[in-house]
Amino acid sequence: MEKPKVKKVNWKKELRLAPGYIILLLWVLFTFVLLGWVFGASLSTTPEIFKGNALKFESGLHFENYAKAWSGSNVSEFFVNSLVYATISCVVLILVCAPAAYVLSRYTFKLNKLIQTGFASAMGVPAVMVILPLFSMIASMGILNNVTLNRITLVLLYIGINVPYTTIFLMTFFSNISRTYEEAAAIDGCPPMKTFWKIMFPMAQTGLVTVTIFNFINVWNEYFLSLIFASSDKLRSVAVGLYGMINSMKYTGDWAGMFAAVVIVFLPTFILYIFLSEKIIGGVTGGIKG
Amino acid sequence: MKRKVLSVLLSVTMLASLLTGCGSSSSSTEQAPEAAKEETAAAATEEAATEAPEGTLVYWSMWEATEPQGQAIKEAVDAYSAETGIPVQVEFKGRTGIREGLEPALAAGQQIDLFDEDIDRVNSAFGKYLMDLEELSASNDYEATANAGLMQACRDAGGGTLKSIPYQPNVFAFFYNQDLFDQAGITAVPTTWSEFLDVCQKLKDAGITPMTMDDAYATCLIGYHLGRLVGEDGVRAIVTEGKWDDPAVAQMAKDFEELASKGYFSELVGSNVWPAGQNSELAVGDAAMYLNGSWLPNEVKDIAGEDFNWGCFAYPALDGGKTGTESNNFGAQVYGINKDSKMGAEAFGLIMKITKGEYDQKLSEMSIGIPADSTNSEWPSLVACAKPVMDGSTNRYTWAVGVEANEDMTPIIKENFIKLIAGSCTADEFVQTMQDAAK
Amino acid sequence: MKKNKPMIILFLTPAVLFFLVVFLYPILRTILMSFFHITSITDGIGEWTFRGLSNYINLFQTSLFRQSCWNLFRIWLYGGIIVLSLSLLFGVILTSGIRFKKVFRAIIYLPNIVSAVALATMWLQYVYSPKFGLLKSFFTALHLDSLAKIQWLDNDHKFYALLFAYCFGMVGYHMLIWCSGIERISPEYYEAATIDGAGKFAQFRFITRPLLKGVFKTNVTMWTVTSMAFFVWSQLFSTVTADTQTIVPTSYLYIKMFGAGNTVTDRDAGVSAAIGVILALVVVLVFTACNKLIKDDDLEF
C-alpha cells in the first residue's frame, strides 16, 4: 500500500510466501492464456480462429481488424459520452450514498430496516422490470425530445439505479469502523456531521474506491438503460455503440473483427481501473492509519 | 480526501476529453457537463431537440449502422432525401434494440414513422401499431414487381390485410458443399428421404462427414421432419397439446436414430454451440451439409472463401408425408408504418426506394442476400443456389415449422433431440421422454 | 450512539429520494402486474386482466421454470462456494505482503471487465472446443485420453462448463471486495506475524477471519444479487433457443416478455412480473438471513 521502497529481499519471508506465489502464478498464467487468446484472435483472421490457429499468426498480424472496428462507427463520440456519464454518476453516487450508508449502519431508527429492505429488494428486481415502466413514464412526459434534458435524465437514472447497490455495499465499511473514533471526536467537540466528513469518510476509503471502480465499470458497460433511453445517436454510450458493432461483426461472420471491437471496449475500462486503484489507493490509504 | 478523489476524477475526464478531442474537436466541448448545464439555462438550441423537426421521417432500423444492410439502407435513405427533399432520421437500433425498445417507444407515442423486423414479430408483437398498407400499395402498384408468395405471407401474418412490406427474403433449406458432393460422385440433389439416405451413404463412403448441426438450429431439423409428415398445423398440435404419441413422432425419431446410428451426423453434434458447426465444420470443408437459412453463405464467407461452391436443396419429402418440397420456411424482414404517422405516403415512398430497383439490388449485393424486387432477377452468386428452392416454394412454414410454438417445451425438445441425433438416446427413449415431459 | 435526527434526515434524504423516484413506482407496478395477464409491459392498466395468484401457481407448475430455478440455485450455491473461497484465497495471498501485488491484483481482476460476449465466445469456441480446444490439448499432452475425449458442451457437461466460465470472470470482483476489507486491517499485524514465524494459515485464522465477517456479508449479498441477475451468460451459451441446462429465471422472464427465439409465442408481462417479484424476494431473504446470521462485531483494530 505504501509507495514501493527499495527494500532488501527478505528471503526467509519470501520463502514462507512461496505457496502463495505459486497459486497466484498458476492462475495468472491461466488468465494470460485465455485473455491472450482473445487478444490474439483480435489480430488473427476468422478462418484461422475457427481452424484453431488463432495464436499462430500464419498470415501475419492483422491490425486492420482494429481499423475496421474503429472506423465503423462514431467511436470517439461514444467514448466521451460514456466518460461523462460514468464520471458524474460515480462522484454523485459517492456523495449521495456514503452519508446514507453511514447513517444506516450507525443509527437505529424506525425506518432503518424498511429502507435497508427496500434497497435490497430493489437490487433483486430484474432491470427490465424497472427500466421499461420508467421509460413509458418518462417518454410520455416528453422529456426525451430534448437532447440536453435527455442527457441529464440518463445521468440521473444511472445514479438512481446504482444507489441501492452502492449504499448497501458501503454499509459494511462503515459498520466495521470502530465507534471509538466518533466518541473521541465528540469529546473534542467535533459535531457529528463534521466527524463524518473529516474522519469516517476517509476511513472508508478502500471501500469507497472499490465501489467507485465497480460503479464506473457498471455504468461504462451498462447496456439496456442507454439502449432504451438514449433516443438519439448523439447520446449513445460506448456499450450500446460498440456492442452494436460486436453484433454486426457476429452476424456478418467477422469474428476477428468482433474480438478487435471487444478489445476496444474493454481497454479504457482497464486503464481507468489501473489508474483509479493504483493512484487513489496508493495516494490515500498511506496517509490515514487508525 | 474528497477533494483529492474529485480532482483525480476530473483530471481523468479532462485528459480523456483532450485525447478524444483531437479526433472530434466539436464534440468534446459540447459534451462537457458544465456546457450541458449552461445550455439548459440559455435554452439556446444549437444542439436542437431530438424530436425531429416538422416534416422529417423517423425510421427505426433493426440493423446496425456498421453491417452491410445498414450501410446499404443508409445509402438508399440518403438518395431518397436528396431526391424528395424530405429529411430522414435513421436510428440504427439493432435487433435487440427493436425487439425490446420499439414497443415502449411506440406506446409512449414517440415519433417513429417506420420500422422493420422479422415478418412474424412485426405483425404480431407490433401488430396494433401498424397502418394498413393496402391502399398505398395499390396506388403505387407495388405488387407488380414483388414476390407474390411473400406478399401473401405478409397478408396472412397481418390477418388477411397488408400491413407490412417484405424485403431481404430468406429461405431455410439444406445448404451443402458442392465440391464434396462431386468428390463423392453425387450428381443429383435428393428430393426424397431414400435419396437423402443414399447421398449420406455416398458421402460417408467417400470419407466425408455427411452433415453437421449447431444447437441453435436443432429445432429446425425436427420441425422440418415433423412438418413434412403432418404439416405445420400438425406440428403445432403436437407441441402445444402434447400429442407426442402421434405416430409421426415415433417415425421421426426412428428416422433420426437411423441417421445417427449410421454415422451420418458429425461426432460433434452433441456439443456444437453456434457457430462451431457452421464455422469449424461446414465452412472449412469437413462436413458436407447443414440445414440453415439463406443468410448462411454471408455468415461464413470469410472462412469458406469466395470460391466456396454452394449448393442448396429443399428438405426432402417423406413417404406418406402431408407436405412435400413445395413447403418451406421462407420469410423476410418487413417494413411497417406506424398507424399514427402523419407521413404514411412519404414513409411508403422510402420503403419503395429501399425495396425496389437500384437499392434493392445494392442491398442484396452488399449483404449477399436475396433481392425483394422480382425484376432484380440476378442473385448474388453465393446465394444463387437457393433460387430454385425459393421459386419452388408455394406453401409457407413459419420458423422451425412451428415446433417452437410452446416456449415451455422448446428447451426440452431441443435437449432431447440433440441427444437423439448425437446417438446418446434411442428413438423409443426420445418418444417416452417427450410424452412424460408434456404431461 | 446518541441519535441525531437532523443528521439522519439530511444524510438519508438524497439516497431515499433517488430510490423513491427510480425504484418505487416500477417495483409497485411490478408487484401489481404479477397478479394480471398482460400482453405487453407497456399496456395501460385498462388492458390488464386480473388473474389472482394464478401466475405464481402456473409458474411453479411449469417444469421448465422449476428447472430454471434449480439451475440458478446451483449457480448460486456451487458458484458461490467456488468464487468466494477462491477469491478469499487470492485476497489473503495478495495482502500477505508479497511482491508485485498490484500486478497480480490487476491481472486477476481483468476478466471481470472484459465483455461477456468475448469471454463466452472464447470459452465456447476455444477452451471447450472438441476439435482444438485448450482442455483437449492440455489433457492430450498429459496423455489423459479419456478426459481429452470429453465433449464439454454436450448436455451432461454444459451446465458445469457454463458455471466454470462464469466463475472465472467473477473471482476478481470478489477478490477486490476481500482485499479492500483486509487492507483496512493494519498491515503491521501481518508483517509482525510473518517475521515472528506465524504461518499463513495461523495468520488467517487469528487475524484475518475474525475481522472479515462484515466483508463476508457484503460478498454474499453481492454474489446473490449478481447471480439473481444471471442472464447474459445463459443467453450466450444457448443462442437463439433456450437450453434446459443453461436456462435461468431471468431468461425465462425474457422469453415471457419478448417472445421466444424466432417463433412468435404468447407473451405475458404479468408472468414476467411474477418472476421479478420472486427474484426480489429471494434477494431480500438472503439479505435478511445474512444480517441475522452474521452480526457485525465491533472489533477494535
Report the 3 state secondary structure along B372-415: CECCCCCCCCCCHHHHHHHHCCCEEECHHHHCCCCCCCHHHHHH
Task: Please give the grid coordinates belonging to residue C70.
Answer: 434449480
B231, pLDDT greater than 80: yes
CA distance A24 to B237: 57
Chain A residues within 8 A of C184 when measuring between CB atoms: 173, 176, 203, 206
Closest of A244, C241, A77, C232 to residue B98, by C-alpha: A244
User: Are residues B119 and B93 part of one domain?
Assistant: yes
Q: Is residue C29 a part of any domain in this protein?
A: no
User: Are residues B156 and B77 part of one domain?
Assistant: yes
Q: Which residues contact A114 (CB under 8 A, 6 or more apart)?
A: none
Residue B136 has a pLDDT of 96
Q: Which residues contact A85 (CB under 8 A, 6 or more apart)?
A: A154, A155, A158, A219, A226, A237
CA distance A9 to A252: 55
User: Are residues B227 and B83 part of one domain?
Assistant: no
* Fold of the domain built from segment(s) A73-251: MetI-like fold (1.10.3720)
CA distance A174 to A98: 9
Q: Looking at chain B from residue 11 to 30, which residues have their Cβ under 8 Å from any Cβ of chain A?
A: 12-13, 16-17, 20, 23-24, 27-28
User: Are residues B343 and B405 part of one domain?
Assistant: no
CA distance A224 to chain B (A): 9
Task: Please give the grid coordinates belonging to residue B313.
Answer: 436443396
Mean pLDDT of B325-335: 95
| B44 close contact with A: CB closer than 8 A | no
Give residue C52's region: left, alpha or beta (phi > 0; psi -120 to 50). Answer: left
pLDDT band at A7 (very low <50, low <70, confident <90, very high): low
Residue B215: closest C-alpha in chain C:
C238
- With pLDDT > 70 as the criterion, what percentage of chain C qualifies? 94
**Residue whose C-alpha cell reads 420500422 in the numeric block:** B115
C223, pLDDT greater than 70: yes
pLDDT band at B165 (very low <50, low <70, confident <90, very high): very high
> Residue B96's domain is classified under what CATH number?
3.40.190.10
User: Are residues B259 and B182 part of one domain?
Assistant: yes
Which of the two residues, B79 and A227, has the higher pLDDT score?
Answer: B79
User: Are residues B221 and B127 part of one domain?
Assistant: no
User: Are residues B181 and B265 part of one domain?
Assistant: yes
Which of the two residues, B30 and C277, has the higher pLDDT score?
Answer: C277
Q: Is residue C31 a part of any domain in this protein?
A: no
Closest Cβ–Cβ partner in C129, C245, C262 for B399: C262
B25, pLDDT greater than 70: no
Query: With contact defined as beta carbons under 8 Å apart, do A86 and B27 qualify?
Result: no
pLDDT in tens, C66-90: 999 999 999 999 999 999 999 999 9
Closest Cβ–Cβ partner in A1, A51, A120 for C283: A120
Which helix (H) or strand (E) element contains residue B361? Answer: helix B357-367
Query: How many domains is chain B partitioned into structurally?
Result: 2
Task: Please give the grid coordinates belonging to residue A13.
Answer: 519471508
**A158 to each of A224, A225, A241, C283, how far by Cα in Å?**
11, 8, 17, 21
Chain A residues within 8 A of B66 when measuring between CB atoms: 72-73, 244-245, 248-249
- CB contact (8 A) between residue B414 and residue C131: no
Other chains touching A, judged by 3 or more CB pairs under 8 Å = B, C
User: Are residues B132 and B91 part of one domain?
Assistant: yes
Other chains touching C, judged by 3 or more CB pairs under 8 Å = A, B
Q: Is residue B96 a part of any domain in this protein?
A: yes
pLDDT in tens, A71-86: 766 777 888 888 899 9
pLDDT in tens, C138-176: 999 999 888 988 899 999 999 999 999 999 999 999 998
CA distance A238 to A221: 7
User: Are residues B219 and B160 part of one domain?
Assistant: no
Q: Is residue B34 a part of any domain in this protein?
A: no
Question: Where are the CATH 1.10.3720.10 domain residues in chain A?
Answer: 73-251
Residue B392 has a pLDDT of 93
Is residue B188 classed exposed, middle or buried when 0-12, 13-18 and 19+ CB atoms within 10 A define those classes? exposed
CA distance C225 to chain B (A): 23
User: Are residues B283 and B369 part of one domain?
Assistant: no
B110, pLDDT greater than 80: yes
pTM: 0.87
Mean pLDDT of B426-430: 97
Instruction: For residue C273, give its domain range.
Output: 49-293
Q: Is residue C25 a part of any domain in this protein?
A: no
CA distance A15 to C222: 35
CA distance C97 to B195: 72
Helix axes C158-182, A205-221, angle to 10 degrees: 140
Query: With contact defined as beta carbons under 8 Å apart, do B57 and B114 qualify?
Result: yes
User: Are residues B408 and B271 part of one domain?
Assistant: yes
Q: Is residue B14 a part of any domain in this protein?
A: no
Query: How many domains is chain C partitioned into structurally?
Result: 1
Q: Which residues contact B119 (CB under 8 A, 6 or more apart)?
A: B153, B154, B157, B164, B166, B331, B332, B333, B334
User: Are residues B65 and B185 part of one domain?
Assistant: no
Instruction: For residue B67, give its domain range.
Output: 57-170+330-390
- CB contact (8 A) between residue C124 and residue B120: no
Nearest-5° angle of CA B232, CA B238, CA B244?
A: 140
DSSP-based helix, strand, coil % in chain C, nearest 5: 70, 0, 30
> Residue C159's domain is classified under what CATH number?
1.10.3720.10
